[in-house]
Amino acid sequence: MKMIAASIMCADSLHLADELRALEQANVKMLHCDVMDGVFVKNAAMGAYVLQDIKNNTDMLLDIHLATVNPDKFVDLYAAIKPAYMSFHVEASPDVDATINHIRELGIKPSIAISPDTEIEQIYPFLEKVDMVLMMTVNPGFAGQKFQHHVLEKIKKLQKELESHTNKPLIEVDGNIFEETVRLLEPIGADVYVVGTAALFNDKAGSYTEKLAPLREIIQER
């Protein structure tokens, strides 16, 4: 599966209903929803009531990224929204296996997130148990950061490791994703591209369909 996911945190929060319609018209299939607690990252974002309103007003899949400490607490808080995927950080969970199981028991596909400076080997023990790996290409917390090119080598190492696994989780990339960085990521096997201010939610001319067209030509979304 190749897919673009729109980072809804970066959308116009005063006109979310209009933004949802525009994204649907652009044939976006999934919304990436950053939940930040102000502790794990120095920012706070996207309460459960906001995401519930979004869920109630679109058929797009939700992909919730918990950039939080105590992820199990937030899993329970956001489970009622029924997202397709829920990611938590390997750096934040005191019991990664238990958090994965917790998410799956709630009928949600578990995903494990890893920050740019964390060694990729930390997630190897869990690759058979998750449906997706979220590779952060910037530090979680704020949009507009520079793409960290060393993450490309981490993705290559991950792909090599997955050759010996029967489970093949999707690889999601998030952080300054636009045409230039997609050209770097596509050859090494990324699957889900989270787009925010760099490629989509900005004041450049064009509809969302037009803005996403160059990315879709590269990744052949399907």
- Return the active site residues: 34, 174
- DSSP-derived letter for residue 90 is T
Task: Give the pLDDT confidence score for residue 205 in this predicted structure.
Answer: 95
- DSSP-derived letter for residue 127 is T
**Partners of 86 in the β-ladder:** 64, 110
Average pLDDT over every residue of 189-201: 96
Residue (of 222, 148, 156) closest to 187 by Cα position:
156
Contacts of 203 (CB under 8 A, 6+ apart): none
Calpha distance 197→147 (Å, rounded): 13
Task: Give the pLDDT confidence score for residue 221 in this predicted structure.
Answer: 73
Q: What is the mean pLDDT of the chain?
A: 96
Higher pLDDT, 43 or 61: 61
Average pLDDT over every residue of 67-81: 96
DSSP-based three-state secondary structure for 180: helix
Structural tokens at position 43: 């920012």
Contacts of 41 (CB under 8 A, 6+ apart): 67, 139, 140, 141, 142
**Strands 192-195 and 3-7, bridge-based pairing:** parallel
**Strands 132-136 and 109-114, bridge-based pairing:** parallel
Residue 69, Cβ neighbours under 10 Å: how many? 17
Task: Give the pLDDT confidence score for residue 137 in this predicted structure.
Answer: 97
Helix 71-78 to helix 96-105 angle, to the nearest 10 degrees? Answer: 10
Domain 1-217: assigned CATH number = 3.20.20.70
Q: Where do the H-state alpha helices sit in the chain? A: 16-25, 48-56, 71-78, 96-105, 151-162, 179-185, 208-219
Tens of pLDDT, residues 77-135: 999 999 999 999 999 999 999 999 999 999 999 999 999 999 999 999 999 999 999 99
